[in-house]
Amino acid sequence: MKRVLLIVSLVMSGAANSQPYASAQLGWAHADFPLGAPFNGYVRDGGLTYGVDAGVGFARVWAAEIGFDGYDSFHGQAIPCPVHTSCAPTATPQSVNQRLYDAFAVRRFTIKDVRLFAKAGYYHAKINTDVPLPDAQFTGSGLALGIGLRWYFTAPWSVSLEATRFDDNVSQIVVGVGWGLGIGERR
């Protein structure tokens, strides 16, 4: 029973010291990735990105974060051909719409009113193409890495600048406006 009480008190003290935050973002992304069969092509384009991140600082220098990123259409070339079928090798322009969901562990460093951060995590992408084949929608997932800074201009508001790379597929840089508790505990 003493162990249970100790664990509950540790969890409750951690929850009392947690620092929830959220940020809405807008920026630019660049996609560069191959499309295997049945698309037989590539995507290489840039476009607008938008997203939302929410996290909780659970220690002075650590946080956990989840997010969503949406993208303008990325364009590429493809030679659509169903598997085990022979097709004419004619490349056609294709569009790809992508949505990413991500989860990160975030390491934070504070210098006065600015919080620098580095993050590593996992992403899952839902990808839709305009290729007229049954497999025109598919998913991808992998490693995501990011760095950035957040400036707290007045409690509890902040602006941020962040760069993120999703595997070797998509790079993005975004500017965000955020809100967060624990502003007095930034150090």
Q: Give mean pLDDT, residues 114-143.
A: 90
Alpha-carbon Rg for the chain, nearest whole angstrom, is 21
What pLDDT is attached to residue 92? 84
Residues 82-112 pLDDT 10s = 878 888 778 888 888 899 999 999 999 988 8
Are the C-beta atoms of residues 92 and 77 closer than 8 Å to each other? Answer: yes
What pLDDT is attached to residue 14? 53
**8 phi and psi, to 5 degrees?**
-60, -45
What pLDDT is attached to residue 186? 42
The span from the CA of 107 to the CA of 87, in Å, is: 50
The span from the CA of 26 to the CA of 36, in Å, is: 30
Identify which of 176, 180, 155 has the alpha carbon closest to the alpha carbon of residue 57: 180
The span from the CA of 38 to the CA of 35, in Å, is: 8
Q: E strands, the chain, where?
A: 19-35, 41-57, 62-71, 74-78, 92-111, 114-129, 137-154, 157-166, 170-180
The span from the CA of 34 to the CA of 96, in Å, is: 12
Residues 162-171 pLDDT 10s = 999 999 889 9
What pLDDT is attached to residue 35? 84
Residues 49-87 pLDDT 10s = 999 999 999 888 999 999 999 999 999 888 888 878 888
Residues of the chain above pLDDT 90, percent: 51
**133 phi and psi, to 5 degrees?**
-130, 155
Domains and CATH numbers, the chain: 19-185 (2.40.160.20)
